Amino acid sequence: MAAIAIYSLKGGVGKTSMAVNLAWCAASLCARRTLLWDLDPQAASTWLLGGPAHGDQAQAVFSRDISADRLVRQTDIPRLSLIGADDSLRGLDHLFHAIDKKKRLGKLIDGLDDYERIILDCPPGLTETTEQMLRAADLIVVPVVPSALATRALEVVDGHVRGRVPLLPVHVMVDRRRRLHAEALAAHPDWPVIPMASLVEAMGEHRAPLGAFAPRSSAAQAYADLWRSVERRLAGG
Ligand SMILES: Nc1ncnc2c1ncn2[C@@H]1O[C@H](COP(=O)(O)OP(=O)(O)OP(=O)(O)O)[C@@H](O)[C@H]1O
Ligand SMILES: [Mg+2]
């Protein structure tokens, strides 16, 4: 089993879109038993996958008042399950601080041993939830919109992680016609690329991953390529 966190210091950079599409790739293209765990109280990936399925119990898993298994629900996509988020997660940082169990998320993930791939949709920021994620993840995928500020945010994260977990930066929302974007891609030719694509925004209308309604689009192909890069990194490549 491997836990893959989709994380960025910055908000609105495409984490949730990436988490949902990569979860689809893991489950559908690679036939992995996959769990998407939505750790963000915005519950955006939960909503995109047809949730929420429960009221306000998402945080109770972390205080061990209910078991994680009880919140897992199967999605419409074969082999893809979800632990949804809800409003209660607004108190998650506070809870992590109060319980003082630095590996609580990691231990909960270890208990979910039915799954081969667990994908974490993380909230932005450098918070207690981030610290928990850093101790739980095998790989952190970081969406980076080509810009100086985003590069700086990545450096901040890199400095904070200090090599504890491998990072896979990914250029996202890329428009190759823009000079800054072209230069950023040239500076990091080895980073995977997700293009700017209106189909990604259309996921909100379909409430589904790209693979479910536009599997042959270049954006869907880009996420599939990214997933292959993730698998290679997990295999030590
Ligand atoms: N490659 C893309 N091309 C075009 N639009 C995109 C792309 N990726 C994401 N978006 C759009 O950008 C917005 C933010 O995306 P998303 O919710 O995935 O980001 P996020 O990092 O999870 O945000 P938050 O920090 O609020 O959780 C959404 O409207 C989404 O549809
Ligand atoms: Mg999000």
pLDDT tens per residue, range 72-92: 999 999 999 999 999 999 999
Q: Give the distance (Å) from ligand 1 centre to CA of residue 196.
A: 10
In this structure, what are the phi and psi dihedrals at residue 62, rounded to the nearest 5 degrees? -80, -25
Atom number in ligand 1 closest to CA 198: 4
- Averaged pLDDT score across all residues of the chain: 96
Q: In the structure, what pLDDT confidence band is assigned to residue 96 with cuts at 50, 70 and 90?
A: very high
- % of the chain exceeding 90 in pLDDT: 95
Using most ligand atoms within 8 A of CB, pick from 6, 8, 13, 17 the residue to mutate for ligand 1. Answer: 17
Q: CA 1, CA 43: separation in Å to the nearest integer?
A: 24
In this structure, what are the phi and psi dihedrals at residue 170, rounded to the nearest 5 degrees? -135, 125
Q: In the structure, what pLDDT confidence band is assigned to residue 237 with cuts at 50, 70 and 90?
A: confident
Q: Residue 168: pLDDT above 70?
A: yes
In this structure, what are the phi and psi dihedrals at residue 35, rounded to the nearest 5 degrees? -125, 130
Q: Residue 53: pLDDT above 70?
A: no
Mean pLDDT, range 19-42, rounded to an integer: 98
Q: Residue 52: pLDDT above 80?
A: no
Mean pLDDT, range 116-128, rounded to an integer: 97
**Element (H or E) spanning 19, and its range?**
helix 15-24
Q: Residue 43: pLDDT above 80?
A: yes
Residue nearest to atom 23 of ligand 1 (CA): 12
Q: Residue 70: pLDDT above 90?
A: yes
Q: Give the distance (Å) from ligand 2 centre to CA of residue 16.
A: 4
CB contact set of 68 (below 8 Å; sequence gap of 6+):
61, 83, 108, 111, 112
Q: CA 89, CA 59: separation in Å to the nearest integer?
A: 5
Quick one: which ligand is closest to 38's CA?
2
Query: What are the angstrom distances between the C-alpha of 122 and each of 16, 70, 73, 181?
Result: 8, 21, 19, 25
CB contact set of 22 (below 8 Å; sequence gap of 6+):
4, 6, 119, 141, 223, 226, 227, 230
Q: Residue 54: pLDDT above 90?
A: no
Mean pLDDT, range 200-222, rounded to an integer: 98
Mean pLDDT, range 138-157, rounded to an integer: 94
Where along the chain do its domains lie?
Answer: 2-230
- pTM of the shown model: 0.97
User: Using a 6 Å cutoff on CB, does residue 16 contact ligand 1?
Assistant: yes
Burial of 202-221, coded b for 16+ CB within 10 Å and e otherwise, reads ebeeeebbbbbebeebebbe
The percent helix, strand, coil of the chain (3-state, each to 5) is 45, 15, 35
Which strands, in side-by-side order, build the sheet including 2-6?
72-74, 80-83, 34-38, 117-121, 2-6, 139-144, 167-174, 193-195
Mean pLDDT, range 150-165, rounded to an integer: 94
**pLDDT value for 11:** 96
**pLDDT value for 157:** 95
Atom number in ligand 1 closest to CA 8: 21
User: Using a 6 Å cutoff on CB, does residue 13 contact ligand 1?
Assistant: yes
**pLDDT value for 51:** 79
Class level of CATH domain 2-230: alpha beta
Q: Give the distance (Å) from ligand 2 centre to CA of residue 14.
A: 7
**pLDDT value for 55:** 77
Mean pLDDT, range 10-34, rounded to an integer: 98
Q: Tell me how many helices (H) and strands (E) the chain has.
A: 11, 8
Q: Residue 161: pLDDT above 90?
A: yes
Three-state secondary structure call for residue 227: helix
Q: CA 172, CA 153: separation in Å to the nearest integer?
A: 14
Bridge partners of residue 70, in order along the sequence: none
Q: Give the distance (Å) from ligand 1 centre to CA of residue 209.
A: 13
- The residue ranking higher by pLDDT, 205 or 52, is 205
